[in-house]
Amino acid sequence: MDHFCYHNGVLHVEDVSVEAIAAEVGTPFYVYSRATLLRHYEVMRDALSGTDSLVCFAMKANSNKAVLSVLAAAGAGVDVVSAGEMHMALAAGFPANRIVFSGVGKTRAELEAAVRAGIHQINVESENELYTLAEVARGLGKRAAIAFRVNPDVGVDTHEKIATGRKENKFGIDWERIVPLYQLASGMPGIDVKGIGVHIGSQILDLVPFRRAFERVRDLVATLRASGLKVERVDLGGGMGIPYRRNINDQVGPEPRDYGALALEHFRGMGLQVICEPGRLIAGNAGMLVSRVVYIKKGETRTFLVLDAGQNDLIRPTLYDAYHEIIPVHQADAGAPLLPFDVVGPVCETGDTFARQRRLPPLEEGDLVAFATAGAYGAVMSSTYNGRPLVPEVLVSGDRMAVVRRRPTLEEMTALESVPDWL
């Protein structure tokens, strides 16, 4: 969090005051720190530098073009989950040979786009996807580089909506099916089998499930090779957890260095390219959502802090019961009391509640607050529910700032809609 600090009592992103950004673009808005994005990518890259490796940013965490450009220019790869994301990744400057395409429901059209683009790897998640892809590739007279995503049946201690590595989850191919399928694919024209992949879930705060998954993958590589099959790559997925609460030690995720060491322990010296797909780890703590207090509403039993940001702007609290630190943009006085607030948005849903009985320093109407750790799964999951325009996104680097996605006008919001002439 060191690029989000108070200077002279005002929260800054790198060298730019959050108050100055608010004055220029209006609230709410997302703001990202380029230095933080770069640092997180570099830490991960360096953690894997003991072997041939590729860190592919999982862009579903944050797909802003400027954010992607920062990472593309730094040499990162990217993990995409739709043809739309692939298009955005190419537009942001990622070369095709650093793009990995994941996802359980890629359509024929999406596979065709990926084969045409000649991307690094398509992670195949089912037998029928393999057949469709083989057909598509042959039709185009091209070869598709693939990895099979296996379901390692490893449970993780995270929110059930973001656990992906159990048999009962929709993701990956069952363990028992992999060897015959790999064999079959190795003989298919149009298919170039490169290896296997896993992704066991998200916001994982403990290395143990990663260790179990890596062990299973390593065993599988050995089994495949013993059957005379070529395995050149392993894709370890993403999922590394990050601290959402400051000052609570058991909420701190694994250090990228330790994750990297674990990966190297399992795969170094095996003639493999090691791919990983961190999303949250790179973008989470690189962004904040800034909002203004509209009203302070004193109820009989509690005080509501009504913000101008709502669940449509940041859905994680209501979707996953996620916790975000809420930080006053103007630093509270040293001895200021902490008072319990229910922090809510303006959306007409009871679920539009960011925090209940959160202890915050005294705040007044018009004050600015920032939701920390909102750089991943924040802006990308926002909607226009309640007729609320998507909020602007701002990128800061040193003392420079730029609006990297502007707020749409109300006319633009309705521009795609029409009324049929028979009405």
Ligand X SMILES: *Cc1c(COP(=O)(O)O)cnc(C)c1O
Contacts of 276 by beta carbon, 8 Å cutoff, 6+ apart: 44, 48, 53, 54, 55, 56, 235, 236, 237, 238, 263
Give the residue among 127, 259, 126, 123 at the shortest CA–CA distance from 196. Answer: 123
If the CB atoms of residues 203 and 311 are measured against ligand X, the closer one turns out to be: 203
Of 36, 64, 82, 202, the one binding ligand X (CB under 6 A) is 202
Is 25 one of the binding residues for ligand X (CB under 6 A)? no
Is 158 one of the binding residues for ligand X (CB under 6 A)? no
The answer on whether 197 is annotated among ligand-binding residues is no
φ, ψ of residue 305 to 5 degrees: the values are: -100, 105
Of 77, 152, 190, 237, the one binding ligand X (CB under 6 A) is 237
If the CB atoms of residues 165 and 317 are measured against ligand X, the closer one turns out to be: 165
Give the residue among 201, 192, 207 at the shortest CA–CA distance from 152. Answer: 201
The answer on whether 98 is annotated among ligand-binding residues is no
If the CB atoms of residues 25 and 70 are measured against ligand X, the closer one turns out to be: 70
The angle subtended at Cα 91 by Cα 86 and Cα 95, nearest 5°, is 70
Beta-bridged to residue 101, according to DSSP, are 80, 122
Site for ligand X in 61-90 (CB under 6 A): 61, 79
Q: Are 311 and 347 in contact (CB under 8 A)?
A: yes
Active site residue 276: no
How crowded is the C-beta side of 124, counted as CA atoms within 13 Å?
A: 28
The answer on whether 278 is annotated among ligand-binding residues is yes
Contacts of 49 by beta carbon, 8 Å cutoff, 6+ apart: none
Choose the stretch contacting ligand X; rule: CB under 6 A; options: 23-31, 32-40, 56-64, 68-76: 56-64
Smallest separation, CB 98 to ligand X (Å): 15
Catalytic residue, candidates 5, 56, 276, 348 = 348
Site for ligand X in 89-118 (CB under 6 A): 102
What residue has token string 């993780």? 156
* Residues designated catalytic: 348
Footprint of ligand X (CB under 6 A): 58, 60-61, 79, 102, 199, 202, 237-240, 277-281, 376
Q: List residues forming the annotated binding site for substrate.
A: 280, 316, 320, 349, 377
Q: List residues forming the annotated binding site.
A: 239, 277-280, 316, 320, 349, 377
